[in-house]
Structure 1
Amino acid sequence: MADFDDELLTAAFTEFRAETTPQVRPAGAAAAYATLRGRRRNRMVVAGVLAALFVAGPMTGYVMVNRDPHGPPVDVGESSTPTPTTAVPTSPAPTGRTGTPSAAPDGRIGRAVLDGATLDLPPWGPHATADGCPSGPTTFSNGSHPVRDSMSIWIEDVLHLQADGEGTADTVVRFACGDQGSTFQVVAFDRSADGRIRTIGQVLTQTTSIRTIAGIRAGGGGRIDVRVGDFPAALRGLYPAPYTQFQWRSYGWDGDRFRQVGGAAAFPANPKVTDYSIASSDLVFGPPVDGVRTGSVTATVRNLGRTALPFRLAMTLPGGLTLVAPDGCVTDTRDAVLSVDCDHAPLPPGRAREVLFRFTTPVPVSSWAQPRVGVSVGEAYGDPEWENNEVDLEIVF
């Protein structure tokens, strides 16, 4: 019987090899390298998890001991101005928008998912520092969405908390858009019943007074605390101006949209910031007298801000002109261009000052440089509205 079984098995295997051998090709080195890479990747994943647990250990301990999921407090250098708060009413059982206990899916969306997701962004504020930031469905890759040249939208901060009263966690994101000049907005997201990411609403964006949004944190009762500043921040807010005043303000969901529910309603006057604007006539020369032409131009400076600060007038003109120098002006001629810099005493808010310049020249002059006059605040001060700080002019002979 054993011999019979052996013969049957031997015949079966012989027939199987005969039929399948022509169809089978050795995997070769490629399969071996794939297997080796898989084993190395598995070891790296395990090592990475262990390292993450090691790093997260102290923070986890803090949360377990202090029952505060946001970690130890950080000194953020806020404005010393008192910031009154408004309490947000809470109910014993979180409810959805219909007022019934919610069975909504968990809206906790991890950073890794957000970094590669398509998010429906609300419009950026009409007072945005950076122009051309897109809204609507926006696809991110590695946490950013390219706009043009060096300009992108960036996912800066991600926060999880129950924001809309539906009983489950939501996701709040702080976005920055721009490059040298950056604008910001904070948006809350959730998941729909089918698991897709949906936008709850815009928490905050840049306004005429809120010029930068520097951070977010969880407040009590489902409130979202936002750190706002009164001066524009360049490069995604990584390098805020030293004279920026910061405040923490709180925002909560009212069933329809997010509203401010705590913190200061306005910034105090900033002692190191104001808004100067410039206007100018053309530089008009008269006919020559004894071989010399004389011309004049009037620059008008206005203080549109709330603080009186020293300012500087700067002019760029063709070389060959001679300034009949007012006090406090310095001139320099390089590459056939005349530069004029004049320092002035502070101008009170709401006031204007006219400054008359006279020039002489023996012959009509021209230059490749566009004639221009500008105004800037003194050293260590800031002017948030640089669009009105310079104006072109014409030279008329």
Structure 2
Amino acid sequence: MSELGNVDLAGEFTRYRETMLAEVEVPGPAEARRTVRRRRRHHLATAAAAAVALLGGPAVGYAALDRSGPPPEPVRPTPSASPTPTPSGSPNPTGPPSPTTASPSRTAPDGRISRQQLAAARVDLPAWRPGPACPTDGVRLAAEAGSAREKTNAIEEVETGDVDGDGAAETVALIRCALGSGGPQQAVAFDRDDAGRIVTVGRITASTIEQPQWLTGLDVRADGVVRVQVADLAPGGGWPGDWSQRQWRGYRWSGERFTQVEGPTSFGPNPYSTDLAVTAKDLILADDPTDGSRVGAIQVRIRNLGDRRADAVPLTLDLPVALLPYGSAWSGCGPDPGRYRPPLSCDLGPVEAGGELVVRLGVRLPPGARLTPGTAAVRGAATGPGGYNLLDPDVDNNEDTIAYR
């Protein structure tokens, strides 16, 4: 059995309680009432001070609690960090700011227009250059250039960007009026009005009869400049588009129209060009006693006045159909030099830059055939890689007129 079992626990607790109660002073009813009154006054004073402080600050709160003396000086806290200085030029308010009603600024309409939306609307276009009978007022644009009918307008390219500086995007489109396999072009800017209708801002640039004959690309920069890629010559008629010189030119909206602000304004000589000159002597036929026919030869001189080699020179002689090719000079013209008769034709060359070539092409009038004296054109052209025609700045000297009899 443990030692705890021999201890009288009940007696020990009794002795402890008697000792402690003798040393502790128990407050009577009067002291309890005094304690309650002190706590109540403290609570009321604290609540009143808090309420008055919310209404009028420390001075008013003190007056509400005790009007017998002056309010104490307010305690000014010492800042722990240096105050942020007021920026120079900024006004220092002397009181709370008065409420103002901000008037919202006008938001420009969103002028982003898709190709399909542009094709679905009726739009007005700037005038086309004189000549083509292309529509301009209330026209419907074909969404694709390949689907345009003759003398109708088609969309070739669409780009968007803020071109007038109003904070909203506009739409720039490359438009072509279909004329055969080509046709004139315009780069035109479109926008929307407040009602959402598509409106025309203006023409940026257009193709011309001279140069540029071809608009090949669009780009709208973030600064509002519209860049248009232009080419000196349009493809077609034996001229490949790859040979055309291309330039990027920049245009900016002035508030009334687009004006060019960047890029070149003209083209230099095209590298795929040369100046061919053709001269020929008259054809005089003489009798051939062997078979009763009449024969003769046309002497043709071809000079290359340019600085590019002509790979070949297709030559045509617009002679009467009764005259046939005759002699060995035609051997380099192919198996059938009269295939495209009339006229007679022969591919000559090459002719180096600054060089020349002289040929005598014989002709024969069969026995019994009649020939009325007259004149004929002898015409040449210079071709380059792939058999395409080189550009010739002076086509008037590519042809000569001869007499025949």
Structure-2 separation of matches of 1:383 and 1:275: 7
Shift of 1:186: 0.9
Structure 2, unaligned runs of 5 or more = 1-104
Match of 1:222, SS state, is: coil
Shift of 1:202: 1.5
Structure-2 separation of matches of 1:282 and 1:198: 63
Equivalent runs, 1:286-325 vs 2, <5 Å = 286=285, 288=287, 290=289, 291=292, 292-294=294-296, 296=298, 307=308, 309-315=310-316, 318=321, 320-322=324-326, 325=329
Structure-1 separation of matches of 2:143 and 2:211: 32
Structure-1 separation of matches of 2:133 and 2:155: 14
Equivalent runs, 1:242-321 vs 2, <5 Å = 242-271=242-271, 273-274=272-273, 276=275, 284-286=283-285, 288=287, 290=289, 291=292, 292-294=294-296, 296=298, 307=308, 309-315=310-316, 318=321, 320-321=324-325
Structure-1 separation of matches of 2:191 and 2:307: 41
Match of 1:121, SS state, is: coil
Structure-2 separation of matches of 1:336 and 1:180: 24
Equivalent runs, 1:1-397 vs 2, <5 Å = 105-125=109-129, 132=132, 134-137=134-137, 138-143=139-144, 146-148=148-150, 153-176=153-176, 177-207=178-208, 208-233=210-235, 241-271=241-271, 273-274=272-273, 276=275, 284-286=283-285, 288=287, 290=289, 291=292, 292-294=294-296, 296=298, 307=308, 309-315=310-316, 318=321, 320-322=324-326, 325=329, 332-333=336-337, 337=341, 338-347=344-353, 357-363=360-366, 364=369, 373-380=379-386, 383=390, 396-397=404-405
Shift of 1:140: 2.4
How many residues are matched? 280
Structure-1 separation of matches of 2:392 and 2:128: 18
8 Å CA contact retained: 1:122, 1:202 = yes
Match of 1:242, SS state, is: helix
Change (3 A) 1:224 1:360: same
Structure 1 range deviating more: 331-340 or 223-232: 331-340
TM-score by length of 1: 0.55
| Percent of paired sites with the same residue | 26
Structure-2 separation of matches of 1:296 and 1:139: 57
Shift of 1:335: 5.6
Change (3 A) 1:169 1:315: same
8 Å CA contact retained: 1:372, 1:391 = yes
Structure-1 separation of matches of 2:303 and 2:152: 35
Change (3 A) 1:340 1:124: same
Change (3 A) 1:192 1:281: farther
Shift of 1:359: 2.9
Structure-2 separation of matches of 1:343 and 1:132: 39
In angstroms, what is the RMSD of aligned CA positions?
A: 4.4
By relative contact order (CA 8 Å, sep 6+), the higher-ranking structure is 1
TM-score by length of 2: 0.54
Structure-1 separation of matches of 2:348 and 2:252: 50
Cα shift readout 1:226-266 (whole Å, capped 9, x = no counterpart):
2223342359xxx9633344332211112332222123344
8 Å CA contact retained: 1:157, 1:174 = yes
Give the letter aligned to residue 172 of structure 1.
V
Shift of 1:163: 1.5
Structure 1, unaligned runs of 5 or more = 1-100
Change (3 A) 1:277 1:181: farther
Task: Mark the structure with the bigger radius of gyration.
Answer: 2
Change (3 A) 1:331 1:243: same
Structure-1 separation of matches of 2:274 and 2:328: 29
Structure-2 separation of matches of 1:102 and 1:278: 66
Structure-1 separation of matches of 2:281 and 2:196: 63
8 Å CA contact retained: 1:331, 1:341 = no
Give the letter aligned to residue 273 of structure 2.
T
Match of 1:325, SS state, is: helix
8 Å CA contact retained: 1:329, 1:343 = no
Structure-2 residue corresponding to 1:44? none
8 Å CA contact retained: 1:328, 1:344 = no
Cα shift readout 1:72-123 (whole Å, capped 9, x = no counterpart):
xxxxxxxxxxxxxxxxxxxxxxxxxxxxx97654332222211222232234
Change (3 A) 1:139 1:200: same
- Structure richer in strand, relative to its length: 1
Change (3 A) 1:331 1:244: same
Structure-1 separation of matches of 2:126 and 2:276: 32
Shift of 1:134: 0.8
